[in-house]
Amino acid sequence: MPQFAANLSMMFTEWDFLDRFAAAADHGFKAVEVQFPYDHPAEAIQKRLERARLELVLMNTPAGDFAAGERGFAAVPGRADQFRASLAQAMIYAEHVNARKVHVMAGLADPSDPAAQSAFRDALKLAVERLEGVEVLIEPINRRDIPGYFLSSFELAAKIIAELKLPSLKLQYDIYHRQVLHGDVLTSLASLMPIIGHVQIASVPGRHEPGSGELNDDMVLARLDALGYRGHVGCEYRPAKGTIAGLNWLNNLRRRGDGGFRSSWRDKL
């Protein structure tokens, strides 16, 4: 069974942000991820992680003015200065909280625009150079959730990773976004596994708890096991009826114990 990380930007929102770390630990998580930790001092987050004995496995670079629609700067032509500033902020937080992976937000731009393509590649080179010892991730995000997002294709993400040939540049494979964008989750996990640095899960289409949507999420998790994935699976979902009530899917996996997945599915995968 994969290791699971609670996404504290979506889960445990019944608690104040800094109290979510203890809540996640109290409910069996040993790792967490946070989309944007920047509203709170890095030192305060570090203390909460240490107190709860949690590992922070993933965070994003700053999105900019979220309320105004900004979703990062890496691929936005003419915003290189803002990207460098956002990267510097991410570096400070990553060092304090010992983040193992940082997702570089591409921003809103036309993927067919040569200027946007060049800006994104340059930003990724800089991120890899500056974030020494940290995996730099790029994530295809569907345009239903973020209209106009630059990186909305797994094919494009894989192409960029192959072209740049940067060992610490990896794919953030979000099962929810993959299903919305392209489908074909099981086959694509196998073909993309060599470049996958992190996996996230949520049901489709509601982005709620795994097992509550159109995908057989247990089978998807079994596929990850069969492929030898040893990283974390981020629980980046919105609990439908409260975080604690929605943890039954994970508690059932934990209770089954021996890998957590039905043997008949393992045989097929």
Rounded to whole angstroms, how far apart are CA atoms 157 and 114? 15
The set of residues, in sequence order, having a beta carbon less than 8 Å from that of 88 and lying 6+ positions away, is 130
Helices (H) and strands (E) in the chain, counts: 10, 8
Is pLDDT of 82 > 60?
yes
Phi, psi at 222, each rounded to 5°: -65, -35
Range of the domain at 27: 3-268
Model confidence pLDDT, tens digit, residues 211-227: 999 999 999 999 999 99
Q: State the number of CA atoms in the 13 A half-sphere of 188 facing the CB.
A: 20
Residues with Cβ < 8 Å from 191, sequence gap 6 or more?
none
pLDDT digits (tens, 9 = 90+) for 13-69: 999 999 999 999 999 999 999 999 999 999 999 999 999 999 999 999 999 999 999
Identify the bridge partners of residue 200 per DSSP, sorted by sequence position. 174, 234
CATH code for position 64: 3.20.20.150
State yes or no: pLDDT of 267 exceeds 50.
no
Return the residue matching tokens 């629980």: 235
Strand partners for 179: none
Active site residue 129: no
Distance CA 67, CA 83 (A): 18
Question: For residue 84, is pLDDT > 70?
Answer: yes
Can you give the pTM of this predicted structure? 0.94
Whether 209 is a known active-site residue: answer no
pLDDT higher than threshold 90 for residue 260: no
- Specify the number of domains making up the chain: 1
Of the listed 139, 155, 163, 214, which one is catalytic? 139
